[in-house]
Structure 1
């Protein structure tokens, strides 16, 4: 059967029942992948015609190539062939180096991996602290760093975050699995970048900004950090250090319960963004934080002209805290 791959407009042959990712790899079509088990989302692509078995998002007609099997001729659209990343997922043992308070309910967790783990800025991993305590967390640094940095908000009644705050100790072993996620830095983009972070969504955004500057990207960069109240603000020192490296980085901190007279804006982060910007066509958006915030920001930036394929979102869904 024929498989048409867009935007390459390339026709390749496949046997009925073949795995889509395997077919693409055999034809040397550039395609991102990681875990090969349907967890990481890295190999997500869109079905433009036909109905291969394995659809994960009916509304968007998206599939995970590693979990999709070909049953008829079809057309698939792969994401940005010039932005392929391949970081084979692995499991690495790490040791807790530090657990530090960033705010009244956010902890900075530092781990020293026994072996390096490769990832792209903006990706995340699964951390397992015990057989009963495991959860995904985003890295705040770069894969060349000696330590892995995570920002953990303690959720009231949260099983995993409560364990980290109360029971985890320096020297404890942690299992790190990954990397996961497709909201990673697009290195080839030369236009403006918009980063919207809610709470600990600042962690992957910091990774993205640090990665962009490490690569020498000089794009205009606009960060909107939304918090519940002034006491929830953290990371300003790190952001100011990044601003000293790149004059084109602007930072807006927005508190839902009101500003504090020290540079914070009052309201919702989406309200501030709507006030500040008109047409955003040609921009890239990186949206990280709670699912309601990410969904609202996605609707807004699409309305302002950012193409859906250029919106890279990492929504944090409740998983028992």
Structure 2
């Protein structure tokens, strides 16, 4: 049977039942992947026409019209179909691995945000914007986004402490400098697209600032000249952090503009309301933009809907929603 692959515009002859990622790799089609286990989301692609079998879902079944996106590593080909993969020049391949790391610093950023810095025993290769699974003990495991770059020599994470949170409670009360942490990754597909030369919209809610910092630092490290418009949303003035980092990044990248938006109350040099309201006030169209959205699911979902309406193509919206499971 035949598989037509967009946008590389190639037709592959494959046998029924073959794994989609295996088929793409066997035919030298450039495709991103990492964990090969359906966890990282890196090999996400779109089924444009035809049916496949998605083993990553609770029930194996052909996809309906509303279920067009799949993970190639978990998908098996059952008939001729057309698939769409991410743009070839955006391919990243980081071998998923587990590294041991040591806590070298624990710093309070706000009343409920801690900055954790780890020194890995071996380098962990990742793209700006990705995240990793941190295992503090066998019973305390949680994904967090990297705030730095793999060239830093350290791994940095920002953790919001949640009342009665099992993992964050351990971080707040028990974790200390010198403790060992297992780091698994990298994970996630909301990474920096380095070949893009147009404007970037970065939206961070709370500790969603961590991956956005990584992305902006990645732009600077790559020598990219993209205009970057960052909207940083927080609940109140006491939740604001990282302004000194952002000011330093503005000096390195004059094309960076920062808008801090406070949901309730007033804060000096900040706007009041929701980030979606601020974006809608500032722009009539976002045509040509790529959007990086990181933070709580309601904010990510609302902003995704807005930027689609304002002209950002769905495949050029890179979202990382921080779900509270296992906090």
**TM-score normalized with structure 1 length:** 0.98
Is there any run of 5+ residues in structure 1 with no aligned partner, and where? none
1:274 aligns to what? 280
Helix, strand or coil at the partner of 1:69: strand
Distance in 2 (alpha carbons) for counterparts of 1:258 and 1:299: 26
Of 275, 297, 301, which residue of structure 2 is paired with 1:295?
A: 301
Match of 2:102 among 75, 95, 100: 95
Any stretches of 5+ residues in structure 2 without a counterpart? 58-62
2:185 to 178, 182, 200: 178
Determine the structure 2 residue equivalent to 1:207.
Answer: 214
* Count of matched residue positions in the alignment of Structure 1 and Structure 2: 320
Contact 1:258–1:265 at 8 Å: present in 2 too? no
Describe the SS at the equivalent of 2:77.
coil
- The alignment status of 1:148 with 2:155, answered yes or no, reads yes
Offset at 1:8?
Answer: 1.3
Residue 60 of structure 2 is matched in structure 1 by none
Q: Residue 236 of structure 2: which of 207, 223, 229 is its match?
A: 229
Distance 1:3 1:93 in 2: 41
CA distance in 1, matches of 2:280, 2:168: 33
For the residues of structure 2 that align with 1:311 and 1:151, how far apart are their CA atoms?
A: 23
Shift of 1:259: 2.2
Alignment partner, residue 325 of structure 2: 319
Deviation per residue, 1:121-152 (Å, 9 max, x gap): 00000000001000000000000011100000
Q: Which residue of 1 aligns with 2:5?
A: 5
Does the residue aligned with 1:141 lie in a helix, a strand or coil?
A: coil
**1:53 maps onto 2:63 in alignment:** no
Please give the secondary structure, in 1, of the residue aligned with 2:52: coil
Equivalents in 2 of 1:14, 1:320: separation in Å?
Answer: 41
- C-alpha root-mean-square deviation of aligned residues, in Å? 1.0
Q: Which residue is equivalent to 1:283?
A: 289
Q: Is the 8 A contact 1:123 1:138 kept in 2?
A: yes
**Within 2, Cα distance between the matches of 1:60 and 1:290?**
23
CA contact (8 A) 1:225 1:253 kept: yes
Q: Which deviations, in whole Å up to 9, do the C-alpha atoms of 1:20-59 show, x marking residues without a partner?
A: 0000001000000000000000000000111110176852
- Partner Cα distance (2:35, 2:326) in 1: 23
CA distance in 2, matches of 1:259, 1:192: 29
**1:236: how far off?**
0.2
- Secondary structure of 1:204 counterpart: helix
Distance 2:275 2:5 in 1: 38
Alignment of 1:3-152 (within 5 A): 3-54=3-54, 59-152=66-159
1:242-281 → structure 2 map (5 Å cutoff)? 242-260=249-267, 262-281=268-287
- Secondary structure of 1:46's counterpart equals strand
1: CA distance, partners of 2:118 / 2:138: 18
Q: In the alignment, is the contact (CA less than 8 A) between 1:140 and 1:206 conserved in 2?
A: yes
Give the match's secondary structure for 2:193. Answer: coil
Alpha-carbon offset, residue 60 of structure 1: 4.6
For the residues of structure 2 that align with 1:216 and 1:20, how far apart are their CA atoms? 35
Q: Distance in 2 between matches of 1:207 and 1:190?
A: 18
